[in-house]
Chains A and B, each alone.
Chain A
Amino acid sequence: SQKIEQNSEALNIQEGKTATLTCNYTNYSPAYLQWYRQDPGRGPVFLLLIRENEKEKRKERLKVTFDTTLKQSLFHITASQPADSATYLCALDRFDTGRRALTFGSGTRLQVQP
């Protein structure tokens, strides 16, 4: 069956370090992979998108990699700050029988300690 897996355990890191979050998937062939940030009580906010033919994408302190062979995406936040504390969701964007479908992972909670 199709599955998207993100580490359900919270990730705790010290301010200034690099946070690395993992998104693994099985039985999907996504056209795109997206990362969102969600704060408590709020809707997710789009951060980055990477296409299936791209290996890496950067935006300020954020970096996403996409390995379609390993079926894995890594999301990095460099020089992390307490304000980066949130839940981060990966989402696979694919086309099923001509219809678009965006499927989310369950998210990983990041806690950056000052």
Chain B
Amino acid sequence: KAGVTQTPRYLIKTRGQQVTLSCSPISGHRSVSWYQQTPGQGLQFLFEYFSETQRNKGNFPGRFSGRQFSNSRSEMNVSTLELGDSALYLCASTYRQSRGHNEQFFGPGTRLTVL
């Protein structure tokens, strides 16, 4: 079974631009979560999508948004980029049982650099 894939792997943007990152979950997984990882803040939860609906959201500004398609693929968008948005953006998928454990399968991440 193929793992979680993320594209692109590396991205360089300038302040004020916007960016869209893509994530394809493991086949059969319906939940996709996005995380931001920086040296200072560690791994921080952005949002989770399940069946095309945002189910949970972290404490990030509205510039960060996402969506999920009917095939469970997900995209996240960051508008009006700031220098502080430079980070590794990780996508994780899970089968998502309502009360069962929530083991996350992570992709390799997209390294975003904002200049």
Binding site for B on A (CB under 8 A): 32, 34, 36, 41-46, 49, 51, 89, 91, 93, 99-107
Contact = CB atoms under 8 A, between A and B. Distances in A.
Interface stretch (B61-69, B75-83, B99-107): B99-107
Interface residues of B, number: 21
Nearest to B105: A46
A99 B56 contact: yes
Interface in B45-65: 45, 48, 55-56
A100 B102 contact: yes
Contacts of A32: 101-102
Interface of B: 4, 33, 35, 42-45, 48, 55-56, 90, 92, 101-109
Nearest to A43: B106
Contact of A43 (B55, B101, B103, B109): B109
B98 to A, nearest CB: 8
Contact of B42 (A45, A93, A102, A105): A105
